[in-house]
Structure 1
Amino acid sequence: MTARGTKPSLYISVDVEADGPIPGPYSLLSLGAAVAGRQDTDGFTAVDPARQTFYRELRPISQDFVPEALAVSGLDRQRLTREGLDPALALAQFSRWVRGVSGDAQPVMCGYPASYDWMFLYWYLIRFTGESPFGHSGCLDMKTLYATKADVPLRSVGKRSMPKEVLPGRRHTHHALDDAVEQAELLANLMAWPGPGPE
């Protein structure tokens, strides 16, 4: 606990690769996560995002998929049908990992944008484990964070519009772990960024 009785937050960058637009009819195929940093009443402290990570590939839960969505990740559904982890096992392992790295802090999932990744992650957690270590709302969207700090409309936000000092140095590869680590670096940069200077 920190001063004033507020529990710290541990920010965990999460990226998923899936084979369609929504969970249920379509499948979560890979899940990557990286600890980005910790925030308490004294502020945010970034950590090396490559130090504490999690990655699993999952067995598809249906026969349906959108070829264009599958092509983004380059994952092989036939291989995952044979070799992917059972979703219940993968999500139980993920929940244990989240609780282990969080310690006395409350875990917060963060993503860029968070909406798609959170939708799949939360649905899979509830469907296959019955609970979420993040609760029902422990989610931070980095696009919203940037829009608020930059004082710009949310729908205008894209990485191309962000200043260089905010952008991560790592590439976005559409491999879930690579992208979780990259986005953890983005979060740390956004937390440190004071906002745009005077015009």
Structure 2
Amino acid sequence: MPKAEFYVSADVEADGPVPGPFSMSSFGLAVAGVHDGAVFKACDPAERTFYAELKPISDAYDPEALAVSGLDRGRLAREGQEPAQAMNAAAAWLMGVSEELGAAPVFVAYPLGYDWMWMYWYFMQFAEGGSPFGHSRCMDLKTLFAAKAGVPVKDATKRSMPSRLLSSRPHTHNALDDAIEQGELFQNLMRWDGDV
């Protein structure tokens, strides 16, 4: 395992609250930076990306959850990738980036719990090699902000963050757009000294 890590900003859109009974509709991955153990180097999060839209795995869905992304479930059923195809392609992409950068992937999200739950479950369920992130190579940006700002996790909201930490990109609920936007937030948090 390489000593260096590369950070993958991830965003998921889904048609319900949990994987299994419900389906992941799409996901986006964007490489946001590399850390060699001493120095963090930001990467343009729009430069190395992966995006997939997936076929539903069940008939169950929550119309309100599905409406967030604006994706059409009928179109996904016809044109979306099979989950195994999407997850194996994502794993291969991550392996390629890992070889290019000489670093191991770390999953980052805000908040981590939702996106990690979906991606880890789908990788374990559908990818031939399981999760490229192992079971725990992940970072919660909400917790990172709370620790640096010295606030309780419950108060670590984007609204409470200094505006200079936030990306100027719009939050569109397209998984790739949002992964890129979140990648910029991650970079800003990594460089931030906690000064309000």
Q: For this structure pair, what is the TM-score category when the shorter chain's length is used for normalisation?
A: over 0.9
Q: For 2:11 and 2:84, how far apart are their aligned partners in 1?
A: 18
Q: For 2:31 and 2:147, how far apart are their aligned partners in 1?
A: 23
Identify the residue that residue 158 of structure 1 maps to in structure 2. Answer: 157
Identify the residue that residue 67 of structure 2 maps to in structure 1. Answer: 71
Q: For 2:104 and 2:50, how far apart are their aligned partners in 1?
A: 18
Q: Secondary structure at the match of 1:36?
A: strand
Q: Normalised by the size of structure 1, how large is the TM-score? A: 0.94
Deviation at 1:40, TM superposition (A): 1.2
Which of 60, 67, 70 in structure 1 is aligned with 2:56?
Answer: 60
Q: Normalised by the size of structure 2, how large is the TM-score? A: 0.96
Query: Where has structure 1 moved over 2 Å in runs of 4 or more?
Result: none
Deviation at 1:42, TM superposition (A): 2.4
Aligned counterparts, 1:14-93, within 5 A: 14-93=10-89
Identify the residue that residue 114 of structure 2 maps to in structure 1. Answer: 116
Q: Structure 1, residues 115-136: CA drift from partner, whole Å, max 9, x if none?
A: 1000000000000014111000
Amino acid at match of 2:181: E
Deviation at 1:169, TM superposition (A): 1.2
Amino acid at match of 1:58: L
Q: Secondary structure at the match of 2:189?
A: helix
Q: Structure 1, residues 101-152: CA drift from partner, whole Å, max 9, x if none?
A: 1222110000011110000000000000141110000110000000000000
Backbone CA RMSD of aligned residues: 1.1
Percent identical pairs in the alignment equals 58
Identify the residue that residue 148 of structure 2 maps to in structure 1. Answer: 149
Gaps of 5+ in 2: none
Q: For 1:113 and 1:139, how far apart are their aligned partners in 2?
A: 11
